[in-house]
Amino acid sequence: MTTTVWDMPCKSQEFNEGPRLRQGPSTLALAYDFETESGDYAWEEVNFYGVVAFKFTAARYCTSDQIHAYDRLETVSESPWPLELADGPTGLEHYRIFFDDIGCYEVLAGSFVPPAGS
């Protein structure tokens, strides 16, 4: 079962360049570009904290469950992923977001912060 925790304010099908990842010690930023009202492109990012794992699946290989996270960030309840970790911490969330024609990003982390103003 999944729960939507954040909806993207734009459509991923309108990305100019597509998402970018920036990884730090136990953090992950997932940035995406979007068209502004002036027709220019700007960047926003979703930040994850307490990251212990992340993965990407290309669109053509995604399951229907992954595609269900189309343009929204979901948490996956009762995910087996944390159990696959050796000595993993407790309190982790399995986050998932799917971008049109790109694929699904999944993050195992303690928390996330949406872009400012979202």
Quick one: pLDDT at residue 118? Answer: 65
Please, are residues 79 and 94 in contact by the beta-carbon 8 Å criterion? yes
pLDDT at 24 over 90: yes
Specify the 3-state DSSP secondary structure of 6. Answer: strand
Task: Report residue 4's pLDDT band, with 50, 70 and 90 as the boundaries.
Answer: very high
Listed by start position, the domains of the chain span 2-34+44-113
Query: Among candidates 106, 103, 112, 85, which has minimal Cα distance to 94?
Result: 106
Quick one: pLDDT at residue 101? Answer: 93
Please, are residues 112 and 48 in contact by the beta-carbon 8 Å criterion? yes
pTM for the whole thing? 0.93
The stretch 93-109 carries a mean pLDDT of: 97
The stretch 75-98 carries a mean pLDDT of: 93
pLDDT digits (tens, 9 = 90+) for 28-75: 999 999 888 898 898 999 999 999 999 999 999 999 999 999 999 999
Per the listing, tokens 């597509």 go with: 18
pLDDT at 116 over 90: no
Q: Classify residue 8 as left (phi > 0), alpha (psi -120 to 50) or beta.
A: beta
Distance CA 48, CA 57 (A): 18
Please, are residues 48 and 115 in contact by the beta-carbon 8 Å criterion? no
pLDDT at 9 over 90: no
Please, are residues 4 and 21 in contact by the beta-carbon 8 Å criterion? no
